[in-house]
Chain A
Amino acid sequence: MIKADNLSKIYSNGSVETVALSNISFEVEEGEFVAIMGPSGSGKSTLMHIIGALDTPTSGAYVLDGKEVGKLSDDELAGIRNKKIGFVFQAYNLLPRTTALKNVMLPMVYAGIPKEERVERAKKLLEMVGLGNRITHTSNQLSGGQQQRVAIARSLAMSPAIILADEPTGNLATVQGEEIMAIFQELGEQRHTVVVITHEPNIAEHAQRIIYLQDGAIIEDSTNHGRRRAKRGGE
Chain B
Amino acid sequence: MELSEVMATAFEALTLNKMRTVLATLGIVIGIGAVIALVSLGQASQLAVQSQIQSLGSNLLTVIPGAQTSGGVRGAEGGAASLTLDDAKAIMTSPQVTTVANVSPELSRRAQVVAGGNNTNTQVLGSTPAYTMVRELSIASGRFITQQDVDGMDKVAVLGPQVVSDLFGDGANPIGQSVRIKGMSFRVVGVTESKGGSGFMNRDDIVFVPLSTAQKLLFGVNYLSSISIAAKSEQAMDQARNEVGYLLLARHKLSDPTQADFTIFSQEDILGAASQVTGTFTTLLSGIAMISLLVGGIGIMNIMLVTVIERTREIGLRKSLGARKRDIITQFLAESIILTVVGGVLGMVLGIMLSYVVSILIGLPFTLSLTSVFLAIGVSGGIGIIFGLYPAQKAAKLSPIEALRFE
A residues bordering B, Cβ < 8 Å? 49, 52, 54-55, 74-75, 78-79, 81-83, 87, 89, 93, 95, 97, 106-107, 109-112, 115, 154, 158
Contact = CB atoms under 8 A, between A and B. Distances in A.
A153 to B, nearest CB: 13
List of 7 A-B pairs having minimum Cβ-Cβ separation, nearest first: A82-B322, A110-B322, A78-B324, A107-B321, A54-B400, A93-B317, A81-B322
Contacts of A93: 313, 317, 320, 404
Given A54-B404, A87-B320, 7 more contacts: A75-B325, A78-B324, A78-B325, A79-B322, A89-B404, A110-B1, A112-B1
A82 B321 contact: yes
B324 A75 contact: yes
B318 to A, nearest CB: 7
B358 interface: no
B325 A74 contact: yes
A89 B321 CA distance: 12
25 contacts: A52-B320, A55-B401, A74-B325, A75-B325, A78-B319, A78-B322, A78-B323, A78-B324, A78-B325, A79-B324, A81-B319, A81-B320, A82-B321, A82-B322, A83-B322, A87-B320, A95-B314, A106-B321, A107-B321, A109-B1, A110-B323, A110-B327, A111-B322, A154-B321, A158-B322
Contacts of B5: 109
B16 interface: yes
A157 to B, nearest CB: 8
A54 B317 contact: no
A106 B317 CA distance: 10
B18 to A, nearest CB: 14
Contacts of B327: 110
A159 to B, nearest CB: 13
Tell me what chain A mostly uses at the interface: helix, strand, loop, or mixed.
helix
Contacts of B314: 95
A87 B404 CA distance: 12
Given A78-B322, A78-B323, A79-B322, A95 B1 contact: no
Interface string B374-392: 0000000000000000000
Contacts, number: 58
B209 to A, nearest CB: 85
Contacts of B1: 109-110, 112
Nearest to B4: A115
Given A93-B317, A95-B314, A107 B404 contact: no
A111 B317 CA distance: 15
B324 A74 contact: yes
A52 B320 CA distance: 8
Contacts of A74: 324-325
A81 to B, nearest CB: 5
A54 B313 CA distance: 14
Contacts of B324: 74-75, 78-79, 110
Contacts of B317: 93, 95
In the complex, which of the residues A54, A74, A78, A115 has the most CB atoms of chain B within 10 Å of its own CB atom? Answer: A78
B369 to A, nearest CB: 42
A158 B320 CA distance: 13
Interface in B307-332: 313-314, 317-325, 327
A11 to B, nearest CB: 11
Interface in B107-138: none
Contacts of A115: 2
Contacts of B318: 106, 110
B16 A97 contact: yes
A102 B147 CA distance: 94
Contacts of B16: 97
Interface in B350-407: 399-401, 404
Nearest to A74: B325
Nearest to A89: B404
Contacts of A158: 322
A43 to B, nearest CB: 13
